[in-house]
Amino acid sequence: MKPTDDVCLCFHVPLVKIRGYLAREDPKVASLISECLGAGTGCGWCVPYLKDLHAQHKAGQTPTIEGSAQDYSAGRLRFRKDGSRDQQRDQQEES
């Protein structure tokens, strides 16, 4: 995803805003992203991504989400329709 693409599609919170918050505040837990920016408090689709972004930040990496904004948005549509996530993300969450 590009920095200007929305991670939270419900509340239009872009990746660049999340990166800025992480760099500025260095939150101890991922849920503080939601508390401050509102991301993840709508449909819940982005919550695992917020956790991943937080983990990347804590590891000293530049937080990013692989893939295109179109694929991300299509995944959210599937999630909203039937509650399913893509298999790759499900496997990451299990490990």
Task: Kindly report, residue by residue over 26-36, the tens digit of the pLDDT.
Answer: 999 999 999 99
Q: Looking at the domain assignment, is residue 62 inside a domain?
A: yes
86 falls within a domain: yes
Q: Is 38 inside a domain boundary?
A: yes
Percentage above 90 pLDDT, the chain: 85
Range of the domain at 78: 6-94
Q: For residue 24, give the H/E element and its range.
A: helix 15-25
Q: Does residue 1 lie in a domain region?
A: no
Alpha carbon distance 44, 7 (integer Å): 11
Supply the pTM of this predicted model.
Answer: 0.87
How large is the average pLDDT for residues 41-56? 96
pLDDT confidence bin for 5, thresholds 50/70/90: very high
pLDDT at residue number 70: 95
In a domain, 61, yes or no: yes
Is 57 part of any domain?
Answer: yes
The pair of structure tokens assigned to 90 is 């499900």
- Cα–Cα distances (Å) from 91 to 68, 77, 88, in that order, read 20, 20, 5
**What's the number of domains the chain is made of?**
1
